[in-house]
């Protein structure tokens, strides 16, 4: 008799487990899901400790951390190392775990003069303008574009009753 009383409870627990399974998989630990991915050039703390302001040269920096991701727009003496660590999550989106921009400033002789590190806390929001640039021409609808050329063109560029024999059907070309 007691066995029959547990059956509905077991069925409810099984149903709850089935409904909760997708939610548990969303918050799966790192060892079950995809590993984090490094994008760009992340300079770690050990490499940063080996860079000495006033002593390290461009050659030393390139040998230690590699070539820069970019140069500053108007200054070739400022090297930018841009990197981030992302992790794939549900829906094909990327969760940003770490972001860092390291700028190395060199003098004209190629000696390191300054190291600046920027993170997500230094980021500034940029307002995107949603206006569209108008294209020249007329504003036609899709239906006007589809039906616009109906009846405009004939099957042959020359009339079949060409009496001058200048290229009509069956006529000889005269020059």
Q: Which two tokens stand for residue 167?
A: 């290229």
Residue 18 lies in a domain: no
Give this prediction's pTM.
Answer: 0.55
Number of domains in the chain: 1
CB-facing half-sphere around the CA of 135: CA atoms within 13 A: 4
Residue 2 lies in a domain: no
Residue 142 lies in a domain: no
Burial 76-95 (b: 16+ CB within 10 A, else e): eebbbbbbbbbeeeeeeeee
Question: Residue 111 class from Cβ within 10 Å (0-12 exposed, 13-18 middle, 19+ buried)?
Answer: middle
Residue 42 lies in a domain: yes
Q: For residue 69, give its domain range.
A: 36-120
Residue 132 lies in a domain: no
Residue 96 lies in a domain: yes
Report pLDDT digits (tens) over 99-111.
999 999 999 999 9
170's torsion region: left (phi>0), alpha (psi -120 to 50) or beta?
left
1 has pLDDT over 50: no
Residue 75 lies in a domain: yes
Report pLDDT digits (tens) over 112-148.
999 999 988 888 888 988 888 777 777 777 787 778 7
Residue 5 lies in a domain: no
């Amino acid at each position: 008799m007691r066995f029959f009383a547990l059956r509905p409870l077991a069925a409810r627990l099984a149903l709850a487990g089935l409904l909760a399974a997708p939610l548990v998989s969303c918050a799966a630990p790192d060892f079950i899901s995809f590993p984090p991915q490094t994008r760009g050039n992340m300079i770690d703390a050990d490499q940063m400790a080996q860079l000495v302001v006033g002593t390290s040269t461009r050659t030393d920096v390139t040998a230690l951390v590699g070539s820069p991701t970019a140069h500053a727009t108007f200054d070739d003496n400022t090297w930018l190392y841009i990197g981030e660590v992302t992790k794939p999550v549900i829906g094909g989106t990327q969760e940003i775990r770490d972001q860092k921009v390291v700028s190395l400033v060199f003098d004209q002789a190629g000696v390191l003069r300054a190291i600046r590190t920027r993170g997500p806390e230094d980021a500034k929001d940029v307002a995107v303008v949603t206006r569209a640039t108008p294209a020249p021409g007329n504003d036609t609808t899709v239906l006007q574009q589809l039906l616009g050329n109906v009846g405009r063109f004939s099957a042959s560029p020359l009339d079949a009753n060409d009496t001058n024999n200048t290229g009509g059907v069956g006529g000889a070309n005269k020059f």
